[in-house]
Chain A
Amino acid sequence: MSSHAIPLKEATIRNRQGLWLFFLTEVFLFGSFFVLRFSLWGDTRPELEQTAGLIATFVLLVSSLAMNRAEVAIAHGDKTKFRNNILVTFVLGAIFLGMILVYEWGALLGLHGEVLGIPVGHILPGDGVYGSVLYLMTGAHALHVLGGLVFIAITLFKGMRGDLTVKDHFFAEACALYWHFVDLVWVFFYPALYLIGHVVDIH
């Protein structure tokens, strides 16, 4: 067996291309859910808590900014900024996940009333097409957020151990790209779930 070392720059470009091909497969997955929403809900939507949706969207948006700052920092050798920002990203990602669980999946988790002054979710997966599509879309996205949190934790660990350098930090770049992709999916899921169409009473 012969070994052929690929120069770092070339390897990085190949890795980037592989990652973007992975994103393409994910676009097909999330795209199918998106199409499903419009074919089953049409110009209608269930009543979802607007305040929770907007706050969750902003939490994810700020986490994307923090991730961008972390990636830029490690690429320029600033480990302190990298650590602080990737920690902020992790915390905000966890808050987003918690908000989806409470304010969308609340009924399934047996929650009632309000949490922090915002009503918890009242829709169950068995509530017709509205329940099934809502849980499918938020569930698939939440699983990716969860995967992203694990990825972030590993990246933080590698960064602190000194495995990521100015010249060689593709692991952090991949983590950042993945997190931004998760945000990108929500850019389309948020209006599809919360904003488009007129509200119908599903009960």
Chain B
Amino acid sequence: MSEEQHETVTPDAETLAARLQEKLTQGIYVFLGLAALTLLEAGLVGSSTIVMMLVGIAKAALIINYFMHISSVWSEDDH
């Protein structure tokens, strides 16, 4: 692929600000999900390992997908 094909136009300030707000809001929703799952597992103290691991996997999925943007490993998507 040539360098020209990789060139992208930097969005204007208004578009960037709108996208920023959207991403920040998404981050808060993800955090609230993680917080709820953490409280759930703390409330389940002493219960089975499988249940605890399922809650852990759900939390890990949120972090990997939304905070670590795993899909961007294979794409040119920016965060």
- Asked if A pairs with B, the answer is yes
B3:A7 contact, CB within 8 angstroms? yes
B60:A188 contact, CB within 8 angstroms? yes
- Contact partner of A58 (CB less than 8 A), chosen from B24, B38, B49, B76, is B38
Known: A10-B6, A16-B72, A69-B24. A196 touches B31 (CB 8 A): no
- Contact partner of A77 (CB less than 8 A), chosen from B13, B24, B35, is B13
A49 beta carbon closer than 8 Å to chain B = no
Binary flags per residue of A171-203, CB closer than 8 Å to B gives 1, else 0: 001001100110110011011001111100000
Nearest chain B CB to A189's CB is how many angstroms away?
10
Interface of A is mostly: helix
Nearest chain B CB to A116's CB is how many angstroms away?
19
Nearest chain A CB to B36's CB is how many angstroms away?
11
A72 beta carbon closer than 8 Å to chain B = yes
Determine the distance from Cα of A69 to Cα of B26 in the docked complex, in whole angstroms: 10
Residues of A within 8 A of B64 (CB): 184
A17 beta carbon closer than 8 Å to chain B = yes
Binary flags per residue of B6-32, CB closer than 8 Å to A gives 1, else 0: 101010010011011001100110110
Determine the distance from Cα of A198 to Cα of B46 in the docked complex, in whole angstroms: 6
Residues of B within 8 A of A73 (CB): 20, 24
Chain B: number of interface residues, binned into ranges: 35 or more
Q: How many A-B residue pairs have CB under 8 A?
A: 113
Residues of B within 8 A of A50 (CB): 42, 45
B79:A196 contact, CB within 8 angstroms? no
A109 beta carbon closer than 8 Å to chain B = no
A-contacting residues, B25-79, CB 8 Å: 27-28, 30-31, 34-35, 38, 41-42, 44-46, 49, 52-53, 55-56, 59-60, 63-64, 66-68, 70, 72-76, 78-79
The 8 closest A-B pairs by CB, nearest first: A76-B20, A7-B6, A65-B31, A72-B23, A191-B52, A68-B27, A180-B67, A76-B16
Q: List 24 A-B contacts (CB under 8 A).
A: A9-B8, A10-B1, A20-B70, A38-B49, A50-B42, A61-B35, A64-B31, A64-B34, A65-B30, A68-B66, A68-B67, A69-B27, A73-B20, A76-B23, A78-B20, A81-B20, A173-B79, A181-B68, A187-B59, A187-B63, A190-B38, A191-B53, A195-B52, A196-B52
Residues of B that sit less than 8 Å from A by CB: 1, 3, 6, 8, 10, 13, 16-17, 19-20, 23-24, 27-28, 30-31, 34-35, 38, 41-42, 44-46, 49, 52-53, 55-56, 59-60, 63-64, 66-68, 70, 72-76, 78-79
